[in-house]
Amino acid sequence: MSDENNILMDAFFPETPLESNETLKIKICKVCEKELGFLEIQARLQYHWDCCLCEHCGKEISREIMMRWVNDNGPRAHSTCHETFMQAEIAKRPVTITQGMLDYLNSWRLCPDLTRSIDENQSRAENQMRKNVVDMNHEERYVLLKQMQAATAVLSVIISNDKASAETKLRRDEWEKEREKRTKDLVQDAQETRLSQQALIEKKKTKKLLSKQTPEGKLLNQLLAMPNMTLEMAKQILGTAKQKADENIQ
């Protein structure tokens, strides 16, 4: 290598006392656990350039993702790949609980706290979301935005359906109560009408039976003139008398 090339290389990677001491130590890649090269050490990296790959799909990932992974602040993967992987892990039976899974679940915990007001829940959700997105790149934030929009749309539909179902149930209950009331009224009216008709029929029968134009009617009227005599008693006496008369004839 010529002196000119050495000068250009030295200008691009200026040597400091600290770096000179560091280069004396063997540095290992955090991904493949093999020795780092000169360029990675000079760039103060803890991994090879070729190791910037998604641990799920194997494709290239950004330096921001690698830096977060090095600092134990996130997975070494695309957000969509990691989301798919974690969902598949959760779906397994039995589920193996790992710290990564706990971190994944806790990072997206937006469950409402019913002991707090709506404003307090909103404030806590905003603070949590800021913590989650502060280290994301533009692609990840866009994907997250689409996820949140999809979740919001689903919740809106569910709430709307719940409201419609509640209103429908309320109208159905009111209709059932009204129908039950109408049925009871109709039954009561029918019973009253039937009793009235039966009473009228019985009244007509009694009036015909007590008619003085017939021998039975005359006898019944004479019996009813007796103290404490009721119509039923008089009819029974008359029936007994007729039965004896028929037996004598035979």
Res. 213 pLDDT band, cuts 50 70 90: low
List, in sequence order, every residue forming a beta bridge with 2; answer none if it has no partner: none
Report if residue 166 sits inside a domain. Answer: yes
Residues 223 and 203 in one domain: no
Res. 229 pLDDT band, cuts 50 70 90: confident
Position 66 pLDDT exceeds 80: yes
Q: What pLDDT shows up at residue 75?
A: 85
Position 153 pLDDT exceeds 90: no
Report if residue 102 sits inside a domain. Answer: no
Report if residue 202 sits inside a domain. Answer: yes
State pLDDT tens for residues 76-93.
999 888 878 877 877 776
Position 223 pLDDT exceeds 80: no
Which has more confidence, 224 or 2? 224
Residues 232 and 201 in one domain: no
- Which residues touch 76 (CB under 8 Å, ≥6 apart)? 31, 54, 55, 61, 65, 66, 69
Residues 205 and 161 in one domain: yes
E strand or H helix at 231, and its extent? helix 231-249
Position 188 pLDDT exceeds 90: no
State pLDDT tens for residues 96-149.
777 777 776 666 566 666 787 888 878 877 777 776 677 678 888 888 888 888
Q: What pLDDT shows up at residue 120?
A: 84
Residues 183 and 201 in one domain: yes
Q: Is 55 helix (H, G, I), strand (E, B) or coil?
A: coil
Mean pLDDT across the chain:
76
How far, in whole angstroms, is CA 197 from its chain's centroid? 57
Q: What pLDDT shows up at residue 114?
A: 74
Position 16 pLDDT exceeds 80: no
Residue-number span of the structural domain to which 221 is assigned: 210-250
On the 0-12 / 13-18 / 19+ scale of CB atoms within 10 A, 174 is: exposed
Report if residue 249 sits inside a domain. Answer: yes
Q: What pLDDT shows up at residue 177?
A: 84
Residues 198 and 216 in one domain: no
State pLDDT tens for residues 18-32.
444 444 467 899 899
Report if residue 178 sits inside a domain. Answer: yes
Report if residue 91 sits inside a domain. Answer: no
Report if residue 176 sits inside a domain. Answer: yes
Q: What is the DSSP letter of 74?
A: S
Res. 57 pLDDT band, cuts 50 70 90: very high
Q: How many domains does the chain have?
A: 2
Report if residue 137 sits inside a domain. Answer: no
Q: What pLDDT shows up at residue 52?
A: 92
